[in-house]
Amino acid sequence: MPESPINKKSTDSFCVLICAYNEARHIEEVVRLALEQNPCRVIVVDDGSTDETAELAEKAGAMVLKNPKNLGKGASIQRGFQLLRDTPCGAVIVVDGDGQHDPREIPRFLDAYRRTKIPLLAGNRMADTTGMPFLRRQTNRLMSWMLNRLTKIYVADPPCGFRFYRTDILPFIMSDEKRFAFEFDILLHAALRHIRIDSVRVSTIYHPGEKSHVSPFRDAWLLIQSILEHFPLIKKKEHTHQETL
């Protein structure tokens, strides 16, 4: 793998990528708190919002990209990653625009990277699930079990979107998934390419009365499709590994 720009520069050289869909209630504060962490840039991908998300994000100081319609979180992250290939940022930290991630915890990811040099760090909310809906807790545990069974890698909270990526690994882990399965699929890509993954503890934040953008039945089917797509390659790697023992 090529030498990373972040190894040539300080780990302070990072960008923050925020994906948002109809998040006028939270986006200004999320952008403001992200800017307080001194990134190179804060980028908001507005995923076809019908409210003032884009305008408020720009007012708060973010660079805003607008999708022409609602394409899904995966598609929005893909667009942000494409832009980051042409920037000097050595790393990108992805934050949701719905207020469920606290940008003041960004230093935890930077500190973890400086200590470990692990290029993909996923947020972990499972240490304290107070306030997390029951269905979400069970889904997270199921996804963690599935990922471990498939790749022998343990990630406590696979769907958590609060993440650190070293930018040089992005071409190797890019997923074609457009929605909920994107972040799980990225972990599969990374595991299959032997890119190290670890977790960073983050807060569990849920706002009472707010509707989730996750569609359980649709997104469960997309997750199953992602697993089925990778399953033959995973089994092939297992067979090759056994032959070399």
pLDDT band of 224, cuts 50, 70, 90 = low
The residue among 3 and 217 whose pLDDT is bigger is 217
The residue among 135 and 83 whose pLDDT is bigger is 83
Q: What is the mean pLDDT of the chain?
A: 83
* CATH number for the segment(s) 5-244: 3.90.550.10
For the chain, how many residues are written?
A: 245
pLDDT, average across residues 106-116: 96
Q: Give me the pLDDT at residue 120, please.
A: 97
Is pLDDT above 80 for 119?
yes
Is pLDDT above 80 for 149?
no
pLDDT band of 86, cuts 50, 70, 90 = confident
Q: Give me the pLDDT at residue 97, please.
A: 94
Most confident of 124-128, 177-181, 205-209: 124-128
Is pLDDT above 70 for 209?
no
Encode the chain in three state secondary structure: CCCCHHHHCCCCCEEEEEEECCCCCCHHHHHHHHHCCCCCEEEEEECCCCCCHHHHHHHHCCEEEECCCCCCHHHHHHHHHHHHCCCCCCEEEEEECCCCCCHHHHHHHHHHHHHHCCCEEEEECCCCCCCCCHHHHHHHHHHHHHHHHHHCCCCCCCCCCCEEEEHHHHHHHCCCCCCCHHHHHHHHHHHHCCCCEEEEECCCCCCCCCCCCCCHHHHHHHHHHHHHHHHHHHHHHHHHHHHHC
pLDDT band of 151, cuts 50, 70, 90 = confident
What is the tens place of the pLDDT at every residue in 16-34?
Answer: 999 999 999 999 999 999 9
Q: Are strands 63-66 and 91-96 parallel, antiparallel or unpaired?
A: unpaired
Nearest to 106 by CA among 40, 27, 185: 40
The residue among 73 and 141 whose pLDDT is bigger is 73
Is pLDDT above 90 for 128?
no
What is the Cα–Cα distance from 164 to 11, expressed in whole angstroms? Answer: 11
What is the Cα–Cα distance from 162 to 92, expressed in whole angstroms? Answer: 11
pLDDT, average across residues 147-173: 88
Q: Give me the pLDDT at residue 179, please.
A: 73
Q: Give me the pLDDT at residue 245, please.
A: 37
Is pLDDT above 80 for 66?
yes
Q: Are strands 163-166 and 91-96 parallel, antiparallel or unpaired?
A: antiparallel
The pTM (predicted TM-score) of the whole model is: 0.81
The residue among 234 and 9 whose pLDDT is bigger is 234
Q: Interior CA angle at 62 toward 181 and 79, to 5°?
A: 35
Q: Give me the pLDDT at residue 135, please.
A: 75
What is the Cα–Cα distance from 195 to 11, expressed in whole angstroms? Answer: 19
Q: Dihedral, CA atoms, 132, 180, 77, 28, nearest 10 degrees? A: -40
